[in-house]
Structure formats: structure tokens, C-alpha cells
Structure 1
Amino acid sequence: MESPVLSYLRKVHAELAELRDGTPYSVGPSSADLNPADFGIALATVDGHVYEVGTTRKQFSLQSISKPLSYGFAIAELGMDAVDAHVDVEPSGDPFNEISSNPETGRPANAMINAGAIAVASLIKGSGGRTPIQRIEHTYSEFAARRLRSDGREYRAERARSDRNHGLAYLLSAAGVVEGDPTRALETYLRQCAVQVDCRDLAMIAATLASGGTNPVTGTEVLPYEAVERVLSVMMTSGMYDDAGDWATSVGLPAKSGVGGGIIAVLPGQVGLAVYSPPLDKHGNSVRGAAACRRISSDLQMHFVRSARQGRSAIRSIRTIDQEPSNIRRTEAAADVLQEQSERALVLELAGDLFFAGTETVVRELTSRAPEIDVVVIDVRDVDEVGDAGIRMINAVFQDFRENGREILLVDPDDVLGGVDTRGITVFDSRDRAIAECEHRLLERYGGPEAMPRAVPVVDSPVLAPLDRADAEALASHMNPRHYDDGDVIRRVGQRFGGVFFILSGTISIVASHTDGTRFRLRTLGAGMTFGELALGEDDRQETTAKAEGPVEVMVLTADEIEALEERDPALAVQLWRALSRDAYMRVDRLSRANAARIRD
């Protein structure tokens, strides 16, 4: 199935593509290839997954989106104080090319306007045999997780139209803000603006900022967290120029635009958003880009006030059914079926908040595995809060599962997902009961009668499989039949060893107690299984309670009969204990393998 995130982005893209306002920036050779209809949206998570729709692979100039990247680079290399001595952190409220500086210090208001960006460019020097622009290209490439380069033709076209920027560079030089040759500083700035990217690159750049400066794909620390903190703060107050105030209140995401048609927006700890569309508004921001950011922020509740918590994955654990089996003891035939079909059933334990970022990881996991899944158990008992965006995304996945014949078993006794449409979804009060039902449905679908027998004679009990038929029949002759009704207690805690119980038909729950006295179902037994023998392990006393769930038929080899058998036919008694030991070993081995799988997970 298609991810609901991607489906949502397609819908937004289709609707906003109808916007026809704005005029593209027409400087440089790339303007000849501009298509006002080009429109791409890319959203990258902090674990490196990218959703993209529309024109996301067409190259264009980075332009002013380069400003926060070089600002962070300078801070990382020189330190905050050194950079602060050349550029301030105050919103200017002016257009991007305004001559805006402190009348006392001469410092530009911030690094997001041209004056501030030129000052920052002057601080980046050549090193290690590389020029300033080569070092900048390397840093930008680490942001994008692929090689980025400045386009010489774009640079030369921009330089030919940069009289105002020349003036800014010399004014800053006169004030002692630009270090060295002001023309060199301007050249570095214009070359960084001419770096070529596509919309997907921008999303990865934004995601690197969202993840605290570490590229989510390569794991490379591009900027230290302190530098990212400063960069995002200035982007929030000044990244959208004279539209920054309205942007901060209505969109609520640190953002930066460029006249090349790109916009990046960052939700720290969660996602990076990028939009490309050439037509610009009066502020120099992409018309469709700004509209897309507003729409997505609103719909997905990405305003920083709503999404203040860290956007960790909501998946605490995800396992196949063989890695987290129920407490029901299955026959060997049933266990084999569940092992063979284990990839067709998942158990997801969710925790934390189901806002956009947390929910996105859940729906991505489900949608990516959907073709192979028959049943999924989702445990939401440790979910704290569910946002509107999370509800919409979960509803989309649940609907797709219903329409394609896949089953969801929900563990939600407290109705955490109260706003989710749970029609056709079975809700359980415990994960074990949900997993048991999950196993049952797999066995119904893939197992034959031997996997889910309604009745099993003693001589056909899997426990006695190592014995030949004559020995099994001999043992059966020493047993007594018993019948229990629903709710009857068959064995109670503290009772002495009463023998080995062979279940012919029906279901028995084995109930234990927590240290605080609360009771819980330890496991469930069905036809062909045994219980009672474990009382021999602790002073010959029963440590659990066995209770009938519905009518139950058993055959009991009592303690007295076992003692008599050991005297009359010790060889058969040895066969019995060997069979019981083998069965116990197989159960312990299966449990150990399941626990090992959980540890690896």
C-alpha cells in the first residue's frame, strides 16, 4: 500500500499546483530552463526516509538557502563569539538586500540578509589546500549526503548584477566587519549562492538540521548541536525576511527561502521539509512553497509549540510472531506452522506520543510490510497522547488493511485511540490475549486439523510421541477420566503433586500471581497438552492454578498410579519420565529461542 504520508503530500501538491501567482527570478543561465509549473515537495525524517512528490530532481540554485549553512559552518569553525563580533542576531524586518546594520557597531542585523551573509562569507578562509568555496561545497555536500558543486555560469551572471551587493561589501569593509578583501568576500558569497541542488537535497539538508547537525543517512556530524541551535533560532526570527513575523506565528517552523524557488523548513527532532517552485512573491519567497509549508504545518500539527517534544519513533518494539509467542502451549504441528508463517504476523508495541513524526514511523513500517502481513497486533497501552495528524494517518492505514483483508488486533483497554475508526478491529485488554488470537487466526488460515485439533486421545498426545503405540496404550490404561465445567478450578496453588493431566479436549488457563497479589494468565493449554508435572519442581507443590475455560475432558495419571507404575513396570515409568522430560526441554528451548530473538531485536 502507499504510505498515507505520501498520499497526503500528493493531495496537497495537486491542490497547490493550481496557484498561478508570482514571478520567477530571472538572473543567470538557469532562468532559460525555468518552468513556472515546476513544483516539488520533499519531506525527510530524522532517520533518513524521504517522501517526495512532483518536481523534486530538477537542479536549481541554492541562493539564500546557503546563508544558514555557511553561518553554521563559520560558528562551528570559529566559535560563537568570533562570529557574533561580525554579525548580529536581531530580526531586521527589512527585505533581503536592504542595507541593514547597527549604527554603533556596523554589524549587519543577522546572517540571513545579504549584508550578514557577506560578512559570514568573509570569515570562511581557505585551508588544507582548499579554497573557501571548496570547503563550503564540501560542507554543503555533507548536509545533502551527495556531492554538490557551485555553477560557474550562475556565479558569473550573479556577479554581473551585484552592484548593490558590491556596495554592501565595501560598506561592511569600511566598518571593519568584513575581513580582508571585500571583493573576495562577495565572490565567496555569490559562489555559495550558485551551488546547485534539487528539492530532495534540500529536504536532506533540512533533516540534518532537524537531527541536531548529524546527517540522518550518513551519520556524519556536519555541525555541532550548539551551532544548529543558533542557526535555527536565527532562521525562525529572520529566515523569511520581512515576512518572518507572520511566518513564525502561522507556520511556526524555522525556515529559509531562496530566490531560486526553494524553501526549507525544519521541525527540530522530527522532520525537514523542502519545497521547490520558481514563482516568487513580493518577499522573494516561493508562492507555492510558502503555501505548502503553511498547509503542511497546519495539517500535520508541526508548529513548534504543538510539537515541542522530541519526535522519536513511537515504535518501542516490533517483532514477528515467533519472536513473541503467546503463553499458549502449542502442539508441535501448530508450532511448526507458526514458525513457517511467522513473517505474516507482527507484534508492535507503541509508546510516547503519536504526533506526526512518531506516527510516521509506525505507518511507514506497516505500509512497507503490508503485502506480506496477514495479522498485526498493535499494543498502544503506553501511548501518552495522540494528535489529529496521527489519528488521520492511523485511520488511513486501518482502512487499507480492512479493504485488503488484513487483520488488526488492538490492545487498547483504556481507549487511547478513541478518535480512530476501529470498525472491524478486535480490541483486547492484554497483549498475550491478542497474540494468542493472532496465532489462532494464522493456524486457521495455514494449519490443518493436526495444528488445531478439537480432541486428542491420550495415545496420540505429542508428549507421548517418543513411546511406541503399545507403551502409550499401557500408560493410558493406568489413567482416570475427569470432566470439568467452565470456571472449575482443576488444581489450586499449594496443592501437592496430584499427577499428570492429559487434556483430551477443551481449554485450560494456568493462572499465576504477581508479588503484589494480582493474578494473571501465565499460559493457556489445549487438546494434546499436559500439566501438573511441574509441581514436582518445588517441594512437590502446585505453584499455579489450573482453571477450565469451557467444558474440559482430561485423563489423569495420578501420583499414586505413578508410584505404583514405578514398582510394577519401572521400564515403562522410565519411558514416561523420559517423555515428560523431553517435552519440558522442548518447551524451554522454544522459550529460550524466542527470548534470544527479543534480545537481538
Structure 2
Amino acid sequence: MDSDPVADALTSVLDDLRDQDDGELAAENAVDAPESDLFALVLVGPFGDVHAAGDADHRFTVQSISKAFAFALALQSHGRDAVFERVGLEPTGEPFHAISVEPETGRPANPMINAGAITTTSMAPGGDADAKVDALLSFMSRCAGRDLAVDEDVAAAESESSDRNRGLAYVLASHGALACPVDVALDAYFRQCAVRVDARDVATMAATLAFGGRNPVTGEQVMDAAVARDAVSVMASCGMYDASGEWAARVGLPAKSGVSGGITAVDPSEFGVAAFSPRLDAVGNSTRGVRALEELSHRFGLHMFADRPETSAPLVNLEHEDDRTVVRLQGHIGFGTAVQVAHRMREEAREGRAVALDMSDADRLDDACGTILRRVAEELYAEISD
């Protein structure tokens, strides 16, 4: 059973947008020199099912996507009060490298801008940069479900060309905002941003946040549910730089972008998703990545503020009748539910059961979601017929 209708749906989004080629490569990509036409979408569901489309295996540096996880690690290690004493939670409407600190306290505005991320990185466990990087790398690896590594060449190149970040760090230190010396915080920060990932990794990292800190691929509870909630909350308001407000209106998924072209987004309790395409818009977000996730949200009704009656009532019942399983659907069947139902139907089929899909009590079925379920049902029927 090689066909994956969810991956096919992701591929259709990529195909519709592949000809759009505006945007520029970031200076941070000079060491990687990626092909500008690379394009990927990956979704990870609640059962650890990975649905990949496009260039999902291409490795890139995580860059600012790491900020969400440095924030989460600081929360996990020190608790909310200690973290919020050093960093704020408010969006700035300014570029990510702006000097956005409170005049009285020196707190950076939020953990998703450079000043805030340097601060939360300084709070990583460990007394020196190597120990802090080990803690950050271990945490991100557990979220990704595999061992990640730092690209030391990229880290060194960024260190040599980051006078602005050094200036930010000294401003923070002058206010007592950092939890360690400037050089230690900066070394850890540059290396944190240079961790190598692919779209599968960052989609799994997003899914770990989506499911209350539990990695759905490995089953490990990586962080407390409250920590994941706080990280997702700040991603919702601040994760897309000074385009966060427009993103919230157009896409409606908590997200974090990076200047290497990655975007990771969260649909809480439903899935994590990642887009990758290296050309960037004027504020530093992937041009095609933004459009791909906007189209995905529009096509499958994913906006977090959209009407979602399916969250208030049970939707899926599995009834076992001898060697047959009847999957009965009720209420509004959205994309996340369709992904779960498709997975359950396949699992029942692998157990040797005939599978029947009863949608007679579904009062609302989004067209694209219905296509996924029909595809799975047709494939299972074809296998039985063969």
C-alpha cells in the first residue's frame, strides 16, 4: 500500500505554487548554496505518521526555528517566572534583529527576535558554551526524533559576520538580562542556529509541540504540556517576524520561520507541518513556504480561529463486526480528523479486517478531506478485489 493520499494533497499544493520564483537567498545560505528551486511540505500526524512531498530530504540549517525550542528548553529548565523575568512576550512589529528591549528592565520584547533568543539561549543548562549547545542539541534532537548535529562551518561563518548580534548581546548584558557571559551566550546561539535539519525533522518538532510536548513518532514526552503550550502561544503572536499579524489573519497557525527557508507550523492536537523553500521575502520568510502553508490552510480549513465544531463532539467510532470494521463518522470532518481516519482504516486493513466507511451521520465533510477518505477506501477495495 504505497500510495499516500495525504502526501498527494501536499504535492498538489507544491505543484500549484512551483512556478512562483520571487524572493532572494539569505546571506546565511552562502555556505550551503542551496538550489533556489527546492520545495518541500511535510506533515506529521498524531500516530507518528509522516506524510512528505517534494524535497523533504534536503538538509538545511534550522536558523530561527530553533528560537521556539530554546524558549521551550528555558521554560522546562527554569520555569515561567524565571524566564519571563528576562524576556517579554509581546510582538514588536519590527525586524527580527531590532534592538527591542524595555527601557527600564532591558528585557527583550519576546523570545522569537534575536535579542530574546540570545537571552533564552543564555539560560540553557550548562556552565559553558559546549554544555549549553549539548543541552540545546539534545532537546531539539528529542523533538525531531533523531540525533541532530551542528554544522560548525555555518556557525563559524555566522559568528564572523554578526556584529549586530554582538551589539545586541552587549546591550542585554549591560541590563543584566543574560544568564551567562556574552561570549558564551553568542557561541551557543550561533551554533544552535546552525543545527542541520530537513523538513521531516522540523515537522516532527512541530508535532511534538502540537501534542503537548509528546513526540508522536517516538512516543517520548520531551517537555511538559504547559511548556509546549507557552511556546506555541508565542509562536502564534511573534513567530513570523514583523509579518506575524498578517500571517495570523491569512494562515492562522502558530508558526516559526528561519532565514534558511524553513517554516514550522502547529495545529494543536492535530498535527505539525513544515515547509521549506530557500528564497525569502522582504521580512525574511520563505516566499513559497508562506504561500504553501496559506494554501494548505485555505484548502483544508486549518485556520485556528475558524469554526471547528468537530472539537466539541466525538467524530469517529470503530465498530468491530466479526472480521469487518465499520468506521462511522459524525459531525464536521476536517483535515486533521480525515488524516486520523485514513490512518485507522489502513491499520485495520493491515490487521486483516475488511473496512467499511459510514459517513451517513457526517453533517459536514470538506471536499478535499472527502477526497482523501475516498482515495483510501478505493485503495482498500481494490486490494480486496485483487
Taking a change above 3 Å as real, the CA distance of residues 156 and 363 of structure 1, as seen in their structure-2 partners, is same
Give the unaligned 5+ runs of structure 1.
Answer: 326-341, 408-444, 446-601
Residue 163 of structure 1 is matched in structure 2 by 163
**Aligned-pair distance for 1:110?**
0.4
Describe the SS at the equivalent of 1:85.
helix
Post-superposition Cα deviations, 1:253-311, rounded to whole Å, max 9, x if no partner, equal: 00000011100010000011101111111111111111111000111111112375659
State yes or no: 1:138 paired with 2:138: yes
The alpha-carbon deviation at position 364 of structure 1 amounts to 3.3
Post-superposition CA distance 1:303-325 (Å, at most 9, x none): 11237565999543254xxxx24
Q: What residue number does 2:28 align with?
A: 27
| Structure 2 counterpart of 1:518 | none
| Alpha-carbon shift at residue 405 of structure 1 (Å) | 8.9
CA distance in 2, matches of 1:105, 1:396: 57
Query: Which residue number in structure 2 is paired with residue 256 of structure 1?
Result: 256
Name 2:7's counterpart in structure 1.
6
Task: Tell whether 2:355 aligns with 1:355.
Answer: no
Question: Per the alignment, in what secondary structure is the counterpart of residue 31 of structure 1?
Answer: coil
Deviation at 1:399? Answer: 5.8
Identity %, equivalent residues = 38
1:247-396 aligned at under 5 Å gives the runs 247-306=247-306, 310=311, 314-317=315-318, 319=320, 324-325=321-322, 342=323, 345-351=324-330, 353-366=332-345, 376-380=355-359, 383=362, 385-396=364-375
Q: Partner residue of 2:184?
A: 184
1:376-398 CA distance string (max 9 Å, x none): 43344665653444334334445
Residues 28-85 of structure 1 deviation map (CA, whole Å, 9 limit, x = unaligned): 66333x1001111101112210100111111110000000101011011101010001
Cα deviation 1:494-516 (Å, max 9, x = unaligned): xxxxxxxxxxxxxxxxxxxxxxx
Alignment-mate amino acid for residue 174 of structure 1: S
Which residue does the alignment assign to 1:64? 64
Compared CA separation, residues 129 and 219, structure 1 to 2 (3 A): farther
Deviation at 1:188, TM superposition (A): 1.1
Q: Structure 1 310/63 Cα, relative in aligned 2: closer, same or farther at 3 Å?
A: farther
**Aligned-partner Cα distance in 1 for 2:358–2:326:** 8
Normalised to the residue count of structure 1, the TM-score between the two structures is: 0.60
Q: How many residue pairs were aligned?
A: 384
Aligned-residue offset at 1:96: 0.8
* Cα shift readout 1:351-374 (whole Å, capped 9, x = no counterpart): 564211111122234457779989
Contact between 2:357 and 2:377, CA under 8 Å: does it hold in 1? no
Q: Distance in 2 between matches of 1:126 and 1:385?
A: 52
Q: Which residues of 2 match residues 397-408 of structure 1 at below 5 A?
A: 397=376, 404=382
After alignment, is 85-94 or 384-393 more displaced?
A: 384-393
Q: How many Å separate the matches in 2 of 1:17 and 1:349?
A: 37
Partner of 2:174: 174
CA contact (8 A) 1:313 1:359 kept: no
Q: Give the corresponding residue for 2:233.
A: 233
* Residue of structure 2 in register with 1:123 after alignment: 123
- CA distance in structure 1 between the partners assigned to 2:266 and 2:283 by the alignment: 20
CA shift for structure 1 position 230? 1.2
Could you say what secondary structure the match of 1:316 adopts? strand
Secondary structure of 2:266's match?
Answer: strand
Tell which deviates more after alignment, 350-359 or 209-218.
350-359
- Equivalent residue of 2:326, what SS? strand
Unaligned runs of 5+ in 2: none
Q: Distance in 1 between matches of 2:273 and 2:129?
A: 35
Superposed displacement of residue 27, structure 1: 3.0
CA pair 3-315 structure 1, distance change in 2 beyond 3 A: farther
Q: Deviations over 1:214-272 (max 9, x none)?
A: 11122211111111111111101110011000100110000000011100010000011
Structure (1 or 2) with the greater helix fraction: 2
Relative to 1, partners in 2 of residues 1:239 and 1:31: Cα closer, same or farther, differing over 3 Å?
same
Separation (CA, whole Å) in 2 of partners of 1:374 and 1:272: 30
SS at match of 1:27: helix
CA spacing shift, 1:374–1:82, aligned 2, 3 Å: closer
Q: How does 1:410-425 map to 2 (within 5 A)?
A: none
Conserved 8 A contact 1:350-1:383: yes
CA–CA separation in structure 2 for the residues paired with 1:220 and 1:313:
26
Matches within 5 A, 1:500-539: none
Question: Which secondary structure state, in structure 1, belongs to the residue aligned with residue 291 of structure 2?
Answer: helix
1:81 aligns with 2:81: yes
Q: C-alpha distance in 1, partners of 2:122/2:354?
A: 60
Cα separation, partners in 2 of 1:199 and 1:360, compared to 1, 3 Å:
same
Residues 145, 375 of structure 1: CA spacing in aligned structure 2 closer, same or farther, 3 A cutoff? closer
SS at 2:150's partner residue?
Answer: coil
Mapping of 1:575-594 within 5 angstroms? none
**Structure 2 counterpart of 1:50, which letter?**
V
Q: Residue 52 of structure 1: SS of its match in structure 2? A: strand
TM-score for the superposition, normalised by structure 2 = 0.91
The answer (yes or no) to whether the contact 2:212–2:225 under 8 Å persists in 1 is yes
Change (3 A) 1:307 1:400: farther
1:221–1:375 distance in 2 versus 1, CA, 3 Å: closer
Q: Aligned equivalents of 2:128 and 2:286: distance in 1?
A: 38
AA in 2 matched with 1:222: V
Checking the alignment, whether the CA contact within 8 Å between 1:56 and 1:198 is kept in structure 2 is: yes
Give CA deviations for 1:403-441 in whole Å, capped at 9, x if unaligned.
x4979xxxxxxxxxxxxxxxxxxxxxxxxxxxxxxxxxx
Q: Is residue 104 of structure 1 aligned with residue 104 of structure 2?
A: yes
Instruction: Check 1:170–1:15 CA distance in 2 against 1; reply closer, same or farther (3 A cut).
Output: same
Give secondary structure in 1 for the equivalent of 2:165.
helix
Q: Are the structure 2 counterparts of residues 372 and 148 from structure 1 closer, same or farther at C-alpha, using a change threshold of 3 Å?
A: closer
Amino acid paired to 2:95: P
CA RMSD after TM alignment:
2.8
CA distance in 1 between counterparts of 2:314 and 2:135 reads 34
Separation of aligned partners in 1, 2:307 and 2:77? 31
In 1: Cα distance, 2:209 partner to 2:383 partner: 41
Could you tell me how far apart the structure 2 residues matched to 1:293 and 1:10 are?
A: 12
Give the counterpart letter for 1:196 in structure 2: R
The alpha-carbon distance between structure 1 residues 282 and 261, as it changes in their structure 2 partners (threshold 3 A), is same
Within 2, Cα distance between the matches of 1:58 and 1:358? 29
Distance in 1 (CA, whole Å) between partners of 2:213 and 2:350 is 35
**Structure 2 counterpart of 1:151, which letter?**
D
Flag the 1:371–1:168 CA change in 2: closer, same or farther, 3 A: closer
Q: Distance in 2 between matches of 1:208 and 1:287?
A: 25
- Residues 225/128 of structure 1: CA separation in 2 closer, same or farther (3 Å cut): farther
